[in-house]
Structure 1
Amino acid sequence: MAKFVYDFTEGNKDLKDLLGGKGANLAEMTNLGLPVPPGFTITTEACRAYLADGRTPEGLDREIGEHLGALEKTMGRRLGQADDPLLVSVRSGAKFSMPGMMETVLNIGLNDESVHGLAKQAGGNERFAWDSYRRLIQMFGKTVLGIDGDRFEHALDDLKGARQDYDLTPEELQRLVETYKGIVREETGREFPADPREQMELAIKAVFESWNAPRAVLYRRQERIPADLGTAVNVVAMVFGNCGMDSGTGVAFTRDPGSGHQGVYGDYLQNAQGEDVVAGIRNTVPLQDLEKIHPEAYRELLGIMETLENHYRDLCDIEFTIERGKLWMLQTRVGKRTAGAAFRIATQLVDQGLIDMDEAVQRVTGDQLAQLMFPRFDDKAAKKRIATGMNASPGAAVGQAVFSSERAVELAERGEDVILVRRETNPDDLAGMIAARGVLTSRGGKTSHAAVVARGMGKTCVCGAEELEVSPAERRFTAPGGVVVREGDVISIDGTSGAVYLGEVPVADSPVVRYFEGEREAGGDDLVRAVHRIMSHADAVRALGVYANADTPEDAARARRFGAQGIGLCRTEHMFLGERRQLVEDLILAEGEEERQAALDALEPLQKADFTGILEAMDGLPVTIRLIDPPLHEFLPDHVELAVKVATGKGTEKDAKLLEAVKRLHEQNPMLGLRGVRLGLVVPGLFAMQVRAIAEAARERREQGGDPRPEIMIPLVGAVQELEAVREEAAAILRETGVEALIGTMIEVPRAALTAGQIAEAAEFFSFGTNDLTQMTWGFSRDDVEAAFFAKYLELGVFGVSPFETIDRDGVGRLMRLAVEEGRAVRPDLKLGICGEHGGDPDSVHFCHEIGLDYVSCSPFRIPVARLEAARALLTFGGSDTR
């Protein structure tokens, strides 16, 4: 039979899965000989069994009874004993810290008889005893019985008026207890339970059930904590900080969790219990003041803090109570910290010899590094929030609101800052998005066009701000409360929170970005120095290469400054927008070989110039160029608008001809239509023109003394025959020009993954296009469904996180793993990478290392994150032997 209960003397800090973080650390402190009140922990396995069956598992009550008996023997008192009571607390404690999310009940064991025994224990302190009793009823009523906590708070406030809670007399507190018991009677129809064992059993069940409380569920979702872990329950002998002014409670940190700097940090509250510090019922005093209040306890606490930090080799967060001058440790855990503190502390611990650089890399995360790179609004500045949308791409941006891409470009060329405001963006808005400081849309989700492109550029973006009524024709938007923002008015958008502000909010630049851009040395700022040390070590140990998704020479150059080792995705369709769109339109409408060739001849030198600039920027590094992959409708006018124009007689002969083409090429689902390799096979000469432009650019660079390394990627292949048809033509052009280039494909169609062995016969590399692979595997469009039902899916637990943010390992990931295994079985030297949005997601980077990819490719701004996570992945998996 499973063991469900462990005494503190039986556990240790490595049993967090079983005992939860709090229980494991209480056991560890007990083993270290620190002053921890005795107690025991009910395991997470018991919680999971209770939640699954709706009742306590067989044997649990017996084990609790045995451990309670042992605790009573240790303490020399029985639970709720009338003349000399043992009181206990019942506290939650999951594997991962979830502060304030679950429940705690103090002072269990008090009733109308034992309250007098407690006063006797405290030397006749009646006030302390009745204060403890009212706290029990208040916490028990709220936590266990589900009574609105405000009812108890209002009764307390009415009684004390302007006084502090510790000014209440014993008689007043006794009356308050009766008031509280009356509230319980009114709300539940029953008396407050006087049986101490019943109090404890009900409190334990309430802690179990709090695992699925809405706030706990929401917190787990935000922090990506698995929903099936359950919480442990800790039953601890009570020690009291509310015995008088010689007692108190506090929280201490071994370093500043905000900055990482060493020193004495924390708060202390006299004559209080632990919950009072969290509730903020009175102002605390700085921890340093404890030296004057209780010098001996203060010195002992500092010694314990040093012991714990050296033992855990990290910043420790400590809760303690002083009972009549005696120090007791109630909890310790590795403390939460800001991103800046995380990097500083990691390198400080290396310098102290507590950890090595491998461990330092594992102590920080890509998410924390990303936070350090985002520009931020000044927290102290006054702000007027007018709307809130989705935090699609982090950062802070300020500028004039503009409502068209053209206007954005026009003003940006004058040196003015603008925010591009649209209902939603489309590929034609690319120039405006590049020109703008940030993008704001009233429609779309985190994987909409605006979000994806903005993230790729490191551009601040707020999407789906549905409160805004955007009127592009009138060049204005209306916010709630009748606020009207017209073109030229200044707004500020926060891509980290999703907030939209009226007017200019001051922005603070990130020194970490300036460091990555090469604008400052690593020696000037302690945070930058810490980032430099960790990133240097990460680059030295990681096995995964980190490439960039970049479509212009400027993006390529920036990616290289950020540490990119090549380009994993150059999207050529982005090169056909703007003025060139007319040339593509001419190609589509061409009647006969002569017109088609004329359009191709016009495009080729433009393409060659594009590729020359990118190859020059990435000289000596691989550049994977994806041949054109757009749905054709993106290059044609809107069907409805064109039809109206022709029908009303306002159209020209060319418009009529164009309308016929639009009708002919119209598709119900363009993303699954004539695009990618299909387009290259159907439109003669299109792919050949692009391959020749690549080859000629590479040859020119080589003649100029450069070292171009192009790779040609065929998109949307689902059958090896498609790839073979294009490969044969491409290889002939490469031979003709004397240029060497790998020819491979993007694995983005499930059938390609399932037939990877066949495709590897013709492909020299695979690049996983996880955006489309996710769409096609799940069967939904990322542009359409996120706002429609993703929130509900997250709420229901269908998703733990959006599959467009992190690779779905069970579905999409399984296809990827199969493709890797079958592709490498046929071609052992097959080069493998990923170029979807997931390439910069920390969890996805770990998965890519796990399945043996050679590189990940992501937007330039996310390159440092991917570099760091690639190293963390290797260290987590124990080295490259997993590859």
Structure 2
Amino acid sequence: METISKTKKQVYHFGTQETDGDRSMRNLLGGKGANLAEMSNLGIPVPPGFTITTEVCTKYNEVGREEVIALLKEEVEKAVASIEKEMETSFGDNENPLLLSVRSGARVSMPGMMDTVLNLGLNDESVLGLVKRTNNERFAWDSYRRFVQMYGGVVLGMKAETKEDENPFEEIIDNLKGKRRIKLDTQFTVQDLQDLVYDFKDAIKKSTGRDFPTDPWEQLWGSVMAVFDSWNGDRAVYYRKINGYPADWGTAVNVQAMVFGNMGDNSGTGVCFTRDAATGVNEFNGEYLINAQGEDVVAGVRTPQQITKMGSQRWAELAQIDEVERMKDFPSLEELMPKIYTELYEYQERLEKHYHDMQDMEFTIQNGKLWILQTRNGKRTGAAMVKIAMDLLKEGQVSEKEALLMIEANKLDELLHPIFDTNALKRAPVVAQGLPASPGAATGQIVFFADEADKFKNTILVRTETSPEDLEGMNLAKGILTARGGMTSHAAVVARGMGKCCVSGAGALKINYKKRSMTVGDQVYNEGDWISLNGSTGNIIEGKVATMEPELSGEFGELMELSNKFGNLKVRTNADNPKDAKIARNFGAQGIGLARTEHMFFEVDRIKAMREMILADTTKGRKAALEELLPMQRKDFEGIFEAMEGCPVTVRLLDPPLHEFVPHQLATQKELAEDLHISLSAVKNKVAELHEFNPMLGHRGCRLGITYPEITEMQTRAIMEAALNLKAKGIESKPEIMIPLVGSFEEFECQDKVIRDTAEVVFSEYGDTVDFTIGTMIEVPRAALMADTIAEKADFFSFGTNDLTQMTFGYSRDDAGKFLTVYLEEGILKNDPFEVLDQDGVGQLVDIGTKRGRSIKPDLKVGICGEHGGEPSSVEFCHSTGMDYVSCSPFRVPIARVAAAQAALK
């Protein structure tokens, strides 16, 4: 078994005179630990504690519990003694007990994905000492019952037997509330809280067969190991997967002195943001609860109160919401504790200026003293991300380069989704209202359980409140609706991070999991019923609502201009029709990198002529059918060239195997035979003849043009005639003709001659010419290796990384789903190679092809037109190989533009 060196430092201090970390140590201390140390260095009041490094987590997963405890024991005991000195309490002491919190802290924010234990150190004796020390019996027993509940769930594994059942602890609480006829936890008497402690312990013993541990050190080591275990828990693994975070990062563990927000009416806890995480507006905001602990705010146990006065712009917009109207009866922190609010405001202002980014802060007020428990760069929606970056730039807090690097390119996708049609909204029946936790428009069928979020094609996940276990369902659903929780609840924070529409705290909803129903007044909505959520207003709407294309904000345009300033790599689009070409042009596409001509043949009025061409037995017959297709192709190209006026347009000649165009159903075969006045057997024989065992490697691409040169002739004529017709109208076209699936110089040379000969004929007929280039799609590994010979004739290379990935790995993209999931789960592959370019293997071929091609022709134009052209890390790779452009789908053009600029800056 591998051992761990005891000479290396494993524990770092914060909040004490021994503070020995800072924010530059994020990878070692995790984001939370690094920021706690940084705040300590800034003189901000942080409860003292220590951080166990991420490296220990990695070792724990290798060697296990006992060796890690042996490694840490001496350092942890010294660190606890340092906290005892600072807090003037003693860990494990029955008269004056030090209580601790144990929290995770990965190098990136993973809200709610790993475990936390609060109030650690209590037992039946020390709780009495806490009563005596604080002279607050209710507080002490409330803290004890919270600890038993949290430890029982996190460390000992207590959970509901089925998804329809309540958490066993919550069931005990609800039963007691029913018996006592109360609604809130704050209404429990001391006797109630004592009863809960012992009922919880009995439930733990009955469920797990284990006694609740009374030794504080056993409690501490159990909690630390539980946090390490949670790094590989289901929800953390899934969160890493959807965000692309490596499994080998590990999590740090932060052990910190408890400060208490549940000591009475002069205590409380809250979460705040230096700017609005949903909209990006520069407005301090957040939520808090009096006489509560931090988990209460995010878990939606009680509806929290606002930190700032209700007169602010954001809350004025929400004045119509019933829940907000009700909350007007509860004062803001600004009104209730003005001195605390002023101090908090100063800290948030100072921390944003220090970190030069929007901060998400957690705080606790204990007997009128403010403590800051955490700060981190806040999760935000795509729209807020753009606005915050551009505003910070205008305020002089960040440079142009820093503003660009703040952008998560993939999150721009959120801004490009359809929004509700304003006219349709006027007619839409609003059934209830909640808080607009995360903007967007979502329409779907109701589901009540996260593991059923894929039950229908489009779903809305409806929960009383969400928990970290719901993560996968939240990711799959179109929108999230909760009955409880505020703007800083788990549902709200996670949804904003995902860019998912969310309405939270809709108090009018009554949810019955067993009946799978949601009641609003007298109206009952069952599983499968359609509802719509307006994440910008909090409206919950009955049925479906029509959508329209989004209107992009001024900040979005500013970001795109900034991208142009720094990006060297040009961004084109993959578009097969004028509509897509125009959309992409509006998003800033600088040309078309791939126009698939085969997509033009599948329309109803064209497929017949295409099939007639395929069924023809002679060149003459094929040419006759192609004559019918010529004007249709020419019209398509005219529309695309006009939409991309003055920009290059790469047209790929016919690529797929011919069998894709013929009917395979008997009924359509009969219909085709009647239309063409031929026998059914002739159609069947042709279909059978075209059948291939492996069509991807069969009669397709340039092989079609070589065996049937009349196809290449017709397509070339359509391209040239379209360009010449537009030239006569004063519209400039820049056609680039791409020969697909070339693997040898001879294949390219054969098709090159057909194209050039046809072009000369057309130019002679028109008495005019247009400039054009001829290149190839490098999608066969041999073509990359033979690139120097192919470049002798080719004007450009475009790497078709979809097929190149298939052929390099030997994976069929259509069938890989059967095993890729396992490969990703087992770590055999880090990413799906069809989504993220495999830089080690496929990337080598791209690099080789580029270098060899340019060794013959230094000015050879090189680009990429596979799906990877819109994926940020793949775009960065394309920049590093010296490509001229990337090409992607229209709605990924803005993402690629930002990624290209970031690649240049990095």
So what's the TM-score if we normalise by structure 2? 0.78
Whole-angstrom CA distance in 1 between matches of 2:48 and 2:74: 19
Q: Secondary structure at the match of 1:252?
A: strand
Instruction: Quote the residue 1:589 is aligned against.
Output: 615
Q: Output aligned runs, 1:206-355, within 5 Å.
A: 206-288=226-308, 289-355=332-398
Q: Secondary structure at the match of 1:540?
A: helix
Q: Note if contact 1:84-1:121 (Cα within 8 Å) is conserved in structure 2.
A: yes
Q: Secondary structure at the match of 1:807?
A: coil
Whole-angstrom CA distance in 2 between matches of 1:481 and 1:697: 56
Matched, 1:768 2:793: no
Q: 2:89 aligns with which of 77, 93, 98?
A: 77
- The one-letter code sitting in structure 2 at the alignment partner of 1:2 is K
Q: Note if contact 1:137-1:177 (Cα within 8 Å) is conserved in structure 2.
A: yes
Instruction: Quote the residue 1:38 is aligned against.
Output: 48
Report how far residue 12 of structure 1 moved: 1.4
Report how far residue 375 of structure 1 moved: 1.3
Q: 1:50 aligns with which of 40, 60, 65?
A: 60
Whole-angstrom CA distance in 2 between matches of 1:28 and 1:549: 47
Q: 1:87 to 1:691 in 2, by over 3 A?
A: same
Whole-angstrom CA distance in 2 between matches of 1:158 and 1:639: 62
- The one-letter code sitting in structure 2 at the alignment partner of 1:156 is I
Matched, 1:729 2:754: yes
- The one-letter code sitting in structure 2 at the alignment partner of 1:119 is V
Whole-angstrom CA distance in 1 between matches of 2:607 and 2:541: 36
Q: Note if contact 1:642-1:655 (Cα within 8 Å) is conserved in structure 2.
A: no
Equivalent residue pairs, number: 766
Whole-angstrom CA distance in 1 between matches of 2:218 and 2:541: 56
Instruction: Quote the residue 2:647 is aligned against.
Output: 621
Q: Output aligned runs, 1:602-613, within 5 Å.
A: 602-613=628-639
Of 164-173 and 331-340, the range deviating more from structure 2: 164-173
Instruction: Quote the residue 1:193 is aligned against.
Output: 213
Q: Secondary structure at the match of 2:94?
A: coil
Q: Note if contact 2:444-2:532 (Cα within 8 Å) is conserved in structure 1.
A: no
- The one-letter code sitting in structure 2 at the alignment partner of 1:7 is H
Gaps of 5+ in 1: 397-479, 485-490, 516-527, 878-883
Report how far residue 641 of structure 1 moved: 5.0
Q: Output aligned runs, 1:357-396, within 5 Å.
A: 357-377=400-420, 381=430, 385=445
Whole-angstrom CA distance in 1 between matches of 2:566 and 2:140: 60
Instruction: Quote the residue 2:517 is aligned against.
Output: none
Instruction: Quote the residue 1:162 is aligned against.
Output: 181
Q: Note if contact 1:91-1:234 (Cα within 8 Å) is conserved in structure 2.
A: yes
Instruction: Quote the residue 2:896 is aligned against.
Output: 866
Matched, 1:838 2:855: no
Instruction: Quote the residue 1:658 is aligned against.
Output: 683
Indicate the percent of aligned positions where both proteins have the same amino acid.
Answer: 50
Q: Output aligned runs, 1:707-786, within 5 Å.
A: 707-734=732-759, 737=763, 739-786=770-817
- The one-letter code sitting in structure 1 at the alignment partner of 2:357 is D
Q: Note if contact 1:357-1:534 (Cα within 8 Å) is conserved in structure 2.
A: no
Q: Secondary structure at the match of 1:99?
A: coil
Structure 1 residues 374-424: Cα deviation after superposition (integer angstroms, max 9, x where no partner): 11346985677279997999999xxxxxxxxxxxxxxxxxxxxxxxxxxxx
Q: Output aligned runs, 1:809-820, within 5 Å.
A: 809-820=839-850
- The one-letter code sitting in structure 2 at the alignment partner of 1:158 is N
Q: 1:855 to 1:167 in 2, by over 3 A?
A: same
Whole-angstrom CA distance in 1 between matches of 2:774 and 2:444: 54
Report how far residue 843 of structure 1 moved: 3.5
Structure 1 residues 444-465: Cα deviation after superposition (integer angstroms, max 9, x where no partner): xxxxxxxxxxxxxxxxxxxxxx
Q: Note if contact 1:767-1:834 (Cα within 8 Å) is conserved in structure 2.
A: yes
Q: 1:684 to 1:168 in 2, by over 3 A?
A: closer
Instruction: Quote the residue 2:129 is aligned against.
Output: 117
Q: Note if contact 2:53-2:251 (Cα within 8 Å) is conserved in structure 1.
A: yes
Report how far residue 40 of structure 1 moved: 0.7
Structure 1 residues 467-500: Cα deviation after superposition (integer angstroms, max 9, x where no partner): xxxxxxxxxxxxx99999xxxxxx9999x9xxxx
Report how far residue 49 of structure 1 moved: 0.8
- The one-letter code sitting in structure 2 at the alignment partner of 1:368 is K
Report how far residue 250 of structure 1 moved: 1.0
Q: Secondary structure at the match of 2:846?
A: helix
Whole-angstrom CA distance in 2 between matches of 1:309 and 1:220: 27
Q: Note if contact 1:376-1:395 (Cα within 8 Å) is conserved in structure 2.
A: no
Report how far residue 80 of structure 1 moved: 1.6
Instruction: Quote the residue 2:168 is aligned against.
Output: 151
Q: Secondary structure at the match of 2:266?
A: coil
Of 97-106 and 252-261, the range deviating more from structure 2: 252-261
Q: 1:74 to 1:347 in 2, by over 3 A?
A: same
Q: 1:116 to 1:667 in 2, by over 3 A?
A: same
Whole-angstrom CA distance in 1 between matches of 2:547 and 2:709: 52
Q: Note if contact 1:552-1:614 (Cα within 8 Å) is conserved in structure 2.
A: yes
Whole-angstrom CA distance in 2 between matches of 1:254 and 1:783: 47
Q: 1:504 to 1:183 in 2, by over 3 A?
A: closer
Q: Note if contact 1:643-1:659 (Cα within 8 Å) is conserved in structure 2.
A: yes
Instruction: Quote the residue 2:143 is aligned against.
Output: 132
Structure 1 residues 504-535: Cα deviation after superposition (integer angstroms, max 9, x where no partner): 622354543xx5xxxxxxxxxxxx12112111
Whole-angstrom CA distance in 2 between matches of 1:391 and 1:871: 40
Whole-angstrom CA distance in 2 between matches of 1:216 and 1:294: 37
Structure 1 residues 111-146: Cα deviation after superposition (integer angstroms, max 9, x where no partner): 233222222321x22222222222221111111111
Q: Note if contact 1:384-1:502 (Cα within 8 Å) is conserved in structure 2.
A: no
Q: Output aligned runs, 1:497-576, within 5 Å.
A: 505-512=544-551, 528-576=553-601
Whole-angstrom CA distance in 2 between matches of 1:711 and 1:650: 36
Matched, 1:691 2:716: yes
Matched, 1:825 2:817: no
Q: 1:755 to 1:49 in 2, by over 3 A?
A: farther
Report how far residue 173 of structure 1 moved: 2.7
Q: Secondary structure at the match of 1:10?
A: coil
Whole-angstrom CA distance in 2 between matches of 1:555 and 1:110: 64
Aligned Cα root-mean-square deviation (Å): 3.4
Gaps of 5+ in 2: 1-6, 161-166, 309-331, 432-442, 461-524, 764-768
Of 840-849 and 694-703, the range deviating more from structure 2: 694-703
Whole-angstrom CA distance in 2 between matches of 1:714 and 1:233: 57
Structure 1 residues 693-712: Cα deviation after superposition (integer angstroms, max 9, x where no partner): 33344344445544322111
Q: Secondary structure at the match of 1:263?
A: coil
Q: 1:728 to 1:71 in 2, by over 3 A?
A: same
Instruction: Quote the residue 2:707 is aligned against.
Output: 682
Report how far residue 855 of structure 1 moved: 1.0
Report how far residue 573 of structure 1 moved: 1.6
Report how far residue 545 of structure 1 moved: 0.8
Of 735-744 and 705-714, the range deviating more from structure 2: 735-744
- The one-letter code sitting in structure 2 at the alignment partner of 1:269 is L
- The one-letter code sitting in structure 1 at the alignment partner of 2:137 is E
So what's the TM-score if we normalise by structure 1? 0.80
Report how far residue 790 of structure 1 moved: 5.0
Q: 1:4 aligns with which of 10, 26, 46?
A: 10
Of 620-629 and 828-837, the range deviating more from structure 2: 828-837
Q: 1:395 to 1:676 in 2, by over 3 A?
A: farther
Report how far residue 34 of structure 1 moved: 0.2
Whole-angstrom CA distance in 1 between matches of 2:235 and 2:636: 52
Q: 1:789 to 1:713 in 2, by over 3 A?
A: same
Q: Note if contact 1:381-1:506 (Cα within 8 Å) is conserved in structure 2.
A: no
Whole-angstrom CA distance in 1 between matches of 2:883 and 2:455: 30
